[in-house]
Amino acid sequence: MAYRLGIDTGGTFTDATLIDEETGDVHVGKVSSTPRDPSLGFMEATRRILDKAEIEPIEVGYIVHGTTVVTNAIIEGKTARTGFITTGGFRDLLEIARQIRPSLYDLQFEKPRPLVPRYLCFGVPERLDARGNILESLNEKAVSAAASQLRREGVESIAVCLLHAYTNPVHEQRVGEILRRDFPEAMVSLSSEVSPEFREYFRASTTVINACIRPVAARYLENIQARLREEGLTAQLLVMQSSGGVLTFGAAAKKPVFLVESGPAAGVIAATYLGDTLGHPNVISFDMGGTTAKAGLVQDGRPQVTKDYEVGATAQAGAGGARGGGYPIRTPVIDLVEIGAGGGSIAWIDPGGVLRVGPHSAGADPGPVCYGKGGEEPTITDANLMLGRLNPDYFLGGDIALDAEAARKAIQQKCADPLGLDPVEAAHGIVEIANAAMVNALRLVSVQRGYDPREFVLVAFGGAGPVHACRLAAEMEIPTTLIPMSPGTTSAMGLLVTDLKHDYSTTFICQVDKLDLKEVATAFSNMEKQGWAILEEEGVQDKDKDFLRQVDMRYVGQSYELTVPHSGTEFTPAGIEALLVRFHREHDRTYGYSAPEEPAEFVNLRLSAIGRIAKPRLRSLDSNSGTPALKTSRPVYFFERNGFVDCPIYDRYTLAAGNIVNGPAIVEEIDSTTVIHPGYRGTVDTYGNLILTGE
């Protein structure tokens, strides 16, 4: 059992990464994704990489999967037929949603259509108050009637969300029992189990998403499991969650709502791991692919996580997030700022005569003009090619021959001529405008949230990330940039370096000076028991179990909470005092002020149950302090030098640990290109990472 396999299913490609736990040797592979049945691409990627590495199926100890199957099911409307049961008088929670329009000036706007049609929504008489006291007992006959109606309607799955069930689940649990008794074939998701936090629409929406993708996710995961077993793979099967940890297939099939951002989370986890191995717990991750760029932030080895997320949203951001275009979920998701600036983003002139880049993308098909697949609109990739940064004969290792002349023509006709610019100026402009948008994204995750980027290391990956990283770091004054080996498959690598993780939360609204510490401890220990049990089931040894406690806090009267970590396991007055100090500090960092004289309160308690998994060793490179072997040279444009210079080109695979590459220089590898600007130098570290620093 010496190998780990990561399979990351993306929109275009399915990436495989195989790592030898003993030696740290890594194999990577790519096959086309198979959107109709993603398990085909999964199996193809698995077979190929096993062949390539010449290992037997039995030798793979565990497999981690990053998947978009959940998100796609929602976006494509391929969710299961689902019923919804709520408190009588509130049947239209999903229809009314937030009563807002997702776009402000579009007279043709639509609200997202509820995932459960109104005739499958039922209100049953019952009512709790805000403290969980029963005002009206549950009408069990009404539940039975709803169950038989839902059965007649042929639903596969049922979501239950009763008012105030986050504080007292007694009625929801009873509804669950009745449904299982009267309609045992249906899968039942209770809001008090999926996401027991107050604010009914958000909890209901989270529960409904869980319910309506459960049958889809269960079938998908079971299918993959069966195929793997058929081919002799006995490995433990895990799947990446949106919050960064992994779940077993079994746990994931019950709570698939935790998988919505499975793929993108892996990139941040990889960046976290790389930072960690090099002693940098504070990292900004920057992942730039074909259609978008994503920025995330890691502090003290922990990726920032948000609970404010919408699935399937297409609306524009604005005013701190104009929303309502998708379906909100309240499970933790790694906080990423995503912008429409990828290699395929299109440059255009707007009606006011200004050069713009994105958000429209040529995607992978037809792709940039230089791909020669029918693309006619100039893109960021075309601009980089024109500036000499990309090698037309070595794109994806030569798999795609790039047509530099076509790129130049498109930029000249569509951008340069209308603006009266030289085509090179226009290409440089395209790159600079894209860089500005990416700098904004990087500022949003750092400066805007109160972090000083100068205290972070930039980890840049994705096919296009290393092309832009040096400039972005300069703009952000980030002193150190790390370019991992094979940046195009960094996300898949992230799958292999994470821990088992189960997230729990519970609403616990209480002013800090009125806390009953025993109650706090009990609430946490209830969550811990659940986490402990599931980690046991997954075969995690006690020494590898870890429990992180966090509290959502706010000033009394506020309605937005900050999540503050609680150190240690005990709840003493001193511990609470320390928590309070941390809260004031966090508030000050985030919003620029704190009010220590104001009363603060607890809102939600959060617990992450973690099962540590040993991390694979990275392979060390041979060391060589000499100068690296030059591959070739070609003219490359650098604005710092006011034009093209004859720029040395290096082959990444021939670089040895300790090599230093002074900018201007280009380092090429199969799936990416690193641009080192004048005034910067790249140093190859023990693991083959390229570390860029200013001189």
Q: Please, what is the minimum distance in Å from the beta carbon of residue 496 to another protein?
A: 35
**Binding to another protein in span 557-576, by CB under 8 A:** 557-560
Q: Mask of contacts with another protein, 645-674, x by CB under 8 A?
A: ------------------------------
> Tell me, what DSSP letter sits at residue 144?
H
Rounded to whole angstroms, the Cα distance separating 598 from 573 reads 18
Q: Which stretch binds another protein (CB under 8 A): 96-104, 225-233, 239-247, 382-390?
A: 96-104
Residue 499 vs 601, nearer CB to another protein: 601
Q: Measured from the CB atom, is 110 or 455 closer to another protein?
A: 110
Our finding on whether 429 is near another protein (CB under 8 A) is yes
Cα distance between residue 126 and residue 138, in whole Å:
4
Footprint of another protein on residues 492-531 (CB under 8 A)?
A: 509
Output the smallest distance, CB 99 to another protein, in A.
Answer: 4
Nearer to another protein, 105 or 695 (CB): 105
Residue among 107 and 574 whose Cβ is closer to another protein: 107
Interface pick for another protein out of 37, 51, 76, 95 (rule CB under 8 A): 95
Find out whether 531 and 504 touch, Cβ atoms under 8 Å.
yes
Residue 395 to residues 383, 390, 453, 556, 609: CA-CA distances in angstroms?
14, 7, 32, 57, 43
Nearer to another protein, 162 or 259 (CB): 162
369 DSSP 8-state letter: G
CA-based torsion, 160, 165, 171, 176: positive or negative: positive
Q: 631: Cβ–Cβ under 8 A, 6 or more apart, which residues?
A: 649, 650, 651, 654, 668
Of the candidates 34, 72, 103, 225, which one interacts with another protein according to CB under 8 A?
103
C-beta separation of 59 from 135 below 8 A: no
Among 556, 581, 629, 630, binds another protein (CB under 8 A): 556
Going along 227-382, which residue ranges are E strands? 236-240, 246-248, 283-288, 293-299, 302-303, 305-306, 309-311, 327-329, 333-334, 336-339, 345-349, 355-361
* Residue 313 near residue 329 (C-beta atoms within 8 A): no
Exactly one of 16, 26, 115, 163 binds another protein (CB under 8 A); that residue is: 163
Q: 587, 606, 652, 677: which one contacts another protein (CB under 8 A)?
A: 587
Task: Find the binding residues for another protein in span 185-224 (CB under 8 A).
Answer: 198-202
Which residue in this structure is represented by tokens 């299961």?
A: 80
Give the interface segment with another protein, choosing from 71-79, 311-319, 360-368, 606-614 (CB under 8 A).
311-319
- Residues in contact with another protein, counted by CB under 8 A, come to a total of 73
691: left (phi over 0), alpha (psi -120 to 50) or beta: beta
154 near another protein, judged by CB under 8 A: no
Q: Where are the alpha helices (DSSP H) in 255-372?
A: 262-277
* Positions in 409-428 near another protein (CB under 8 A): 419, 421, 428
By C-beta, is 319 or 614 nearer to another protein?
319
How does DSSP classify residue 257?
G
Instruction: In whole angstroms, give the CA distance from residue 320 to residue 333.
Output: 18
Contact 133, 127 (CB under 8 A): no
Return the structure tokens found at 607: 């617990």
At closest approach, how far in Å is the CB of 554 from another protein? Answer: 9
Structure tokens at 86: 């709520």
Q: Pick from 1, 104, 226, 629: which binds another protein (CB under 8 A)? A: 104
Judged by CB, which is closer to another protein: 98, or 141?
98
Interface of this chain with another protein, residues 251 to 290, rule: CB under 8 A:
none
Q: Which of 22, 37, 51, 106 binds another protein (CB under 8 A)?
A: 106
Q: Is 77 in the site for another protein (CB under 8 A)?
A: no
Q: Which is nearer to another protein, 98 or 585 (CB)?
A: 98
548 lies in the site for another protein, by CB under 8 A: no
In angstroms, give the least distance from the CB of 7 to another protein.
Answer: 36
Answer yes or no whether residue 129 interacts with another protein by CB under 8 A.
Answer: yes
User: Under rule CB under 8 A, which residues in 12-71 are in contact with another protein?
Assistant: none
**Nearest approach, Cβ of 167 to another protein (angstroms)?**
9
Q: Tell me the C-alpha to C-alpha distance, in Å, between residue 178 and each of 14, 120, 188, 207, 498.
A: 42, 17, 11, 18, 39
Buried b or exposed e, range 231-246, using 16+ CB within 10 angstroms: eebebbbbbbbbbbbb
Q: In this structure, are strands 187-190 and 26-32 parallel, antiparallel, or unpaired?
A: unpaired
Task: Decide: is 307 part of the binding site for another protein (CB under 8 A).
Answer: no
Backbone angles phi, psi at 48, to 5 degrees: -60, -45
- Minimum Å gap between C-beta 171 and another protein is 14
**Closest CB 534 distance from another protein, rounded Å:** 28
Query: Alpha-carbon distance 281 to 564, whole Å?
Result: 18
Q: At what angle do helices 404-411 and 423-445 cross, to 10 degrees?
A: 90
Interaction with another protein in 431-460: which residues (CB under 8 A)? Answer: 432-433, 436-437, 440, 443-444, 448
Q: How far is the CB of 386 from another protein (least distance, A)?
A: 15
Round to whole Å and give the CA distance between 487 and 464. 9
- Name the residue nearer to another protein (CB basis): 270 or 431: 431
For another protein, give the closer residue by CB, 449 or 634: 449
Contact window for another protein (CB under 8 A) among 18-26, 104-112, 141-149, 518-526 = 104-112
Given the complex with another protein, which of 222 and 586 has the nearer CB atom?
A: 586
Q: Which of 109, 532, 547, 644 binds another protein (CB under 8 A)?
A: 109
- Coil, strand or helix: which one is 77? coil
Whose tokens are 């021939």? That residue is 654
| Chain residues 317-376 in contact with another protein, contact rule CB under 8 A | 317-322, 324, 350-356
Of residues 591-610, those binding another protein (CB under 8 A): 591-593, 595, 598
Stretch that binds another protein, among 312-320, 402-410, 530-538, 658-666 (CB under 8 A): 312-320
Please state the φ and ψ torsions of residue 665, each to the nearest 5 degrees. Answer: -160, 160
Choice between 165 and 221, CB closer to another protein? 165
For the chain, the straight-line distance linking the first and the last C-alpha, in angstroms and rounded, comes to 45
d(CA 437, CA 338): 10
Can you give the three-state secondary structure of 407-423, one letter per residue? HHHHHHHHHHHHHCCCH
Nearer to another protein, 359 or 678 (CB): 359
Residue 262 to residue 279: CA distance in whole angstroms: 26
